[in-house]
Amino acid sequence: MKITYLGTASSEAWPALFCDCEACMLARKCGGKNIRTRSQTLIGESLLIDFPPDTNYHVQKLGLDLKKIESLIITHSHHDHFFPYDICMRNAGFAEGIRPFKLSVYGNRTVEEKFYEAASIFSDVDEFIEFHQISPFDQFRTGDGYTVTALAADHNQPEESLIYIIQKNGQSVLYAHDTGIFPEITWKYLEGKYFDFVSLDCTALSRDWRKGHMGFRAVDEVTERMKAMRCISHDTILVLNHFAHYEDYTHDKICKEVENKNYCVAYDGCQFVF
């Protein structure tokens, strides 16, 4: 599989809009991997996870080719993961060459409501986009051959925020953004599953958050439990992602913090092939 991280910040981006904190000043000064946009990840060339307001930036600067996207899975309705007005630009009035197939969008009930609220200002979205409402523990196969299982996240209740298992050709990915330490019902589902790749929320960095989002300590707890359950091994690629501007953190400082552990630190544009 090939996984490309396009946006790796939390909701306010990093440097954050309007913010002059030390972490944001450092990001502006150092540039490069310190410039983080809102959450979006590409699996292969055709399966996209989340559609933030920075999607247009990802097209223009990171080579995201939206014409190739057949399936779009949405984790939850927070604006840094879901900007439905731009998804609705896939219609005859604003885009040419989109007739060969409908884009399949998968999301929970809250996401569906927000999608149709946005779609109502366009005349022909249904002709080009098909929305599929999903709930925790639903499993579906995308047109491009991925088996996707939605799991319950610990985030933004009562919305049923979702994390995902994505499988193809015998390989298995756990994509866990945004979430705190997983709900017990999700742990139960993970029993007996093995992952080649796990992407974990680390929004809070050194703050000890375990509900809603995670920091380093909660991520360690999750990976320890997954190891004990044999859901991961030494061969599993573990990625930390979705960071908030905090203290004097930079990309290098996050890497240094986890250098003795088996984690990779995501940045905008980074790619994993396995």
Residues binding Zn ion (CB under 5 A): 16, 19, 21, 24, 78, 80, 178, 245
Q: Which is nearer to Zn ion, 78 or 168 (CB)?
A: 78
CB nearer Zn ion, residue 24 or residue 226: 24
- Residue 92 or 270 with smaller CB distance to Zn ion: 270
Closest approach of Zn ion to the CB of residue 218, in Å: 16
Least separation, in Å, of the C-beta of 178 and Zn ion?
Answer: 4
Output 114 or 245, the one with its CB closest to Zn ion: 245
How near is the Cβ of 234 to Zn ion at its closest, in Å?
A: 29
- For residues 40 and 53, is the Cβ–Cβ distance under 8 A? no
* Minimum distance of Zn ion from residue 23's CB (angstroms): 5
CB of 242 to Zn ion, least distance (A): 6
Measured from the CB atom, the residue of 8 and 104 that comes closer to Zn ion is 8
Could you give the angle at the alpha carbon of 109 between the alpha carbons of 98 and 134, nearest 5°?
Answer: 70
DSSP letter string, 193-253: ---SEEEEE-TTBTS---SSS-BHHHHHHHHHHHHHTTS--TTSEEEEE-B---TT--HHH
Shortest distance in whole angstroms from residue 172 CB to Zn ion: 23
162 contacts 153 by C-beta, under 8 angstroms = yes
Q: How far is the CB of 11 from Zn ion (least distance, A)?
A: 5
Task: Indicate the residue among 27 and 231 with the shorter CB distance to Zn ion.
Answer: 27
Residue nearer to Zn ion on the CB measure, 24 or 165: 24
